[in-house]
C-alpha cells in the first residue's frame, strides 16, 4: 500500500467518532469496514476514496496528527487546550457542545471571589493553570486526577474542580454547582501542518464540503 496517496484520519473513540462518521456520510465519505461491530481491526480503509480511518483515545489524537501518523484528526477542544500540540485547528464541527467550568459546593464561591490560595482538582491541569494564573490572577494548587473529578470536593481533596459540564446532571446529583465558566467546548477538526501543504487540495475540499453541511 502506498501510504502517501491515502488521507489518514484519527478519530476520538466513542460518541465523537460516531458523530464524525455521520457527518462524513452526508458529504459522501463512508467506511463500510468500520460498521462491523465485532471486528478487532484497528485501521479501516476505503480504497475508492483513498482514505484510512483509525480510532484512538481522545488525548492521543493530537499526538498522531502532530507527528503526521494521521493527516487529520477529530477531537474535543478540551483535549486540544490540554495537549497543546503543533497542529492546525481548522473547523468547529458543532457537535459535542459543552462547557469547561469551575465547579464546587455553593459556599466555595467565596474562595474564588477573595482570591484565596485554594486547591483545584482537574483532568485538565494546563487549562486550570491558564485560567487561574493568567485570567483570574489567583494562586492555586492544581491536583491532577484522571476521572470522576466531582468526587474531589465531596471528599475534601480539593476546594473546587475544573471540569466539563454537559447536561449538569453529574453536578446536580452530587450537590455541586457551576461557580464560573472557563470556556465553551465542541468537537474540532485538526490537520497536520505538513499535510496541509502537501494535500492542500483534498483537505481544503473536505473542509469546504463539511462547512456546507454544518
Taking the complex as a whole, how short is the minimal distance between the CB of residue 165 and ligand PRP, in angstroms? Answer: 5
CB of 19 to ligand PRP, least distance (A): 15
Q: Which residue is nearest to ligand PRP (CB)?
A: 147
Measured CA distances, 191 to 32, 124, 133, 161, 206 (Å): 24, 22, 30, 31, 11
Residues that bind ligand PRP (CB under 6 A): 147-150, 163-170
The cell numbers describing 122, all together, are 482537574
Minimal distance in Å, beta carbon 98 to ligand PRP? 7
What contacts 7, CB < 8 A, 6 or more positions away? 50, 51, 52, 71, 72, 195, 199, 202, 203, 206
On whether the CB atoms of residues 9 and 73 are closer than 8 A, the answer is yes
* Nearest residue (CB) to ligand PRP, 63 versus 170: 170
Shortest Cβ 93–ligand PRP spacing (Å): 18
Q: Minimum Å distance from CB 99 to ligand PRP? A: 9
Provide, rounded to whole angstroms, the least separation between the CB of residue 96 and ligand PRP.
Answer: 11
* 194 class by beta-carbon count within 10 Å (0-12 exposed, 13-18 middle, 19+ buried): exposed
CB of 170 or CB of 186, closer to ligand PRP: 170
Q: Cα(first)–Cα(last) distance of the chain, in Å?
A: 33
Comparison of 84 and 172: residue with beta carbon closer to ligand PRP: 172
Q: Do 135 and 211 form a contact (C-beta atoms < 8 A)?
A: no
- Quick one: which H or E segment has residue 155? helix 151-155
Query: Kindly report the CA angle at 130 between 127 and 62, in degrees rounded to 5?
Result: 40
Q: 183 - beta bridge partners?
A: 100
Q: Which is nearer to ligand PRP, 33 or 170 (CB)?
A: 170
Q: Identify which of residues 165 and 187 has a Cβ nearer to ligand PRP in the complex.
A: 165
Amino acid at each position: 500500500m502506498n501510504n502517501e496517496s491515502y488521507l489518514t484520519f484519527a478519530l476520538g473513540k466513542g460518541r465523537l467518532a460516531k458523530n464524525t462518521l455521520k457527518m462524513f456520510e452526508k458529504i459522501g465519505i463512508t467506511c463500510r469496514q468500520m460498521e462491523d461491530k465485532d471486528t478487532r481491526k484497528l485501521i479501516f480503509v476505503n480504497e475508492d476514496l483513498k482514505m484510512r480511518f483509525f480510532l484512538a483515545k481522545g488525548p492521543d489524537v493530537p499526538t498522531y496528527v502532530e507527528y503526521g501518523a494521521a493527516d487529520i484528526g477529530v477531537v474535543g477542544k478540551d483535549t486540544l487546550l490540554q495537549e497543546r500540540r503543533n497542529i492546525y485547528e481548522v473547523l468547529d464541527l458543532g457537535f459535542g457542545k459543552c462547557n469547561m467550568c469551575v465547579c464546587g459546593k455553593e459556599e466555595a464561591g467565596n474562595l474564588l471571589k477573595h482570591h484565596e490560595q485554594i486547591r483545584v482538582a482537574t483532568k485538565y491541569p494546563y487549562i486550570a493553570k491558564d485560567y487561574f494564573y493568567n485570567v483570574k490572577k489567583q494562586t492555586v494548587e492544581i491536583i491532577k486526577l484522571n476521572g470522576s473529578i466531582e468526587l474531589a470536593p465531596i471528599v475534601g481533596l480539593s476546594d473546587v474542580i475544573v471540569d466539563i459540564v454537559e447536561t449538569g446532571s453529574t453536578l446536580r446529583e452530587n450537590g455541586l454547582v457551576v461557580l464560573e465558566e472557563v470556556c465553551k467546548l465542541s468537537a474540532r477538526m485538526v490537520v497536520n501542518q505538513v499535510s496541509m501543504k502537501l494535500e492542500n487540495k483534498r483537505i481544503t475540499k473536505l473542509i469546504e464540503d463539511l462547512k456546507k453541511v454544518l
